[in-house]
Amino acid sequence: MSEFDASVSAGEIFEQQQERLNLRWVAGAQGAGRRIESSHSKSRRPSLAGYLNIIYPNKVQILGSEELQWLDALDSRQRWETIQKIFQFEPAAIIVSKNQSVPEDLIEVAEETQTALWVSPQRGHEILNQLQYRLARALAPRISLHGVFMEIHSIGVLITGESGSGKSELALELISRGHRLVADDMPEFTQIAPDVLDGTCPEMLQDLIEVRGLGIMNIRQMFGDTSVKKNKYLRLIVHLTKPTTEVPIAGIERLIGDNATRRILELDVPMITLPVMPGRNLAVLTESAARLHALRMKGINPAIAFVARHTQLLQSGDQ
């Protein structure tokens, strides 16, 4: 398991949003490497992108009609001091909306400070909405986990376990039964919302799975496009264990199963542990675990219903 901080450079933002926002680079080309670190989103009060803010400067400053008019209303000394203050905080980029004419003093200071200065025909709120969504996703907390991430009955399921426990073999059988692979070995999870972990596959491992004895296989080529999925929200962990000795199962655990949670980033994810033993059909058990989780999410718990039924039967017998 490895957790890492994400970052994005001004050049990467431009490449990703150039077509969507019709961006045009006006000045500060040397600032393409200036980066926004994910730590900014944790420690700084303002948003990552927003309209011109002198008190709490955003990392991407948007200049609309009102902001440029406000600058034009300042006297020459105040205007120069304000522009200097804008660039003093080292924004990753400054965007002028609606294809407005960019003032020469802005271009001059952008070149001097090597700050990216872009122009877009889009309205300010359109630029803001797009950048806030993309930057928040790009800089969200992210972690890599060891396991196989799959979509089973429309539920994102991460299969974990020790090396040699049969994770990839189980995944291969599930794929042959019509379920879909997201990532093998090291899926990446991004916390895009307080209760949502979005799982994806590193580009290097896209569509691939490694099974001992068979080597690396391309699942898309073998089973078709419908056998793989680009991303999925993580909702359940199925952990495979190889018991060393036969341990008797306690009564309550036999009723409710081996259920727990695993902390991933800032979210507790439900986890079901399945012992790997000869004669057990792990594919059927994993499918059933996904179906059972779906029922529990709807408020249906067969174990609790059974206990209530049993209690009612005992009470009726006492009467």
Q: What residues are labeled active site?
A: 146, 167, 185, 254
Alpha-carbon distance of 120 to 124, in angstroms, equals: 9
Q: 3-state DSSP call for residue 27?
A: strand
Q: 3-state DSSP call for residue 245?
A: coil
Task: Give which of 154, 155, 150 is closest to 167, Cα–Cα.
Answer: 150
Q: Please report, for residues 38, 169, 207, 209, the alpha-carbon distance to residue 204 in angstroms, rounded to integers and kept in the order given.
A: 23, 21, 9, 11
Alpha-carbon distance of 16 to 280, in angstroms, equals: 48
* Beta-strand pair 60-63/93-96: parallel
Judge contact between 37 and 50, C-beta under 8 A. no
Sequence letter at residue 257 = G
